[in-house]
Amino acid sequence: MSTHDWSADVFRAMQARNIATVLTVPDGGLTRLLRMVEAEAAMRLVTLSTEPEGVGVATGCWLGGSRAMLAMQSSGVGNCINALGLPAAFRAPCLMLVTMRGQWGEFNPWQVPMGQATRPALEAVGVKCFPVDRAEEVGETFAAAADLAFYSRTSTAVLVGQRIIGAKGFGQK
């Protein structure tokens, strides 16, 4: 588990790109970034009941002329698959920051099927995936994925590896 503050790097990249709305079903690995967004008056944090709502809100924001992103755990990606047809049909960008479970040292077997399927499932619906396993590289990867999404009007996902976040142990393994 790295100590580099990748959340601060992502936050700076968001500010530099006017990404001012964050749609989320929270995840432990997103805690620091979500706190920074909540504390910033120029940004809006939108809490969802389920992740595909965020695909719709992000698409609507872009249709209305502003930039949003979806931040969620890898299990939430599975909920989003049909929804991702919406930005694809509109040729709209949907930028996703995904914190991974079910891979590096996972303790909970229920996380493994979707964790392992996250990238293939996203790619199957046309989302360009950017997996990262080094904390120092999350910021630049996020910036590149954001630029690709908004300039080329396509959906992209940064997959922040569990190796960066650390496996949750619930006090046991």
Partner 1 sequence: MSAIPNKIARRPFVAGVLAERGDALIVLGLGSPTWDAFAAGDSPEYLYSWGGMGLAVPTALGVALAQPGRRVVCITGDGEMLMGIGSLGVVADQAPANLAILVLDNESFGETGRQRGLTSARTDIAAVGRAFGIASTRTVTEQSAVGELADFLFKTPGPALAVAKIALTEDPWALPEKDGAAIAQRFRAALGAP
Interaction site with partner 1 (CB under 8 A): 21, 44, 46-50, 52-66, 68, 82-83, 85-86, 88-92
Q: Which helix (H) or strand (E) holds 22?
A: strand 19-24
**What distance in Å separates the CA atoms of residue 22 and residue 71, rounded to the nearest whole number?**
7
What is the smallest separation between the CB atom of 10 and partner 1, expressed in angstroms?
Answer: 21
Distances in Å between the Cα of 69 and the Cα atoms of 46, 103, 104 are: 10, 24, 25
CB distance 23 to 57 below 8 Å: yes
Whole-Å CA distances, 126 to 3, 47, 93, 96, 119: 33, 25, 12, 13, 11
Closest approach, Cβ 151 to partner 1, in A, equals 12
Which residue number, 46 or 167, has a Cβ lying nearer to partner 1?
46
Distance, C-alpha 50 to centroid of its chain = 14
Q: Which is nearer to partner 1, 23 or 135 (CB)?
A: 23
Q: Measured from the CB of residue 5, what is the shortest distance to partner 1 in angstroms?
A: 29
What CA–CA distance (Å, rounded) separates 158 from 160?
Answer: 6
Give me the least distance between CB of 120 and partner 1, in Å please: 22
Nearer to partner 1, 79 or 103 (CB): 79
Smaller CB separation from partner 1, 85 or 169: 85
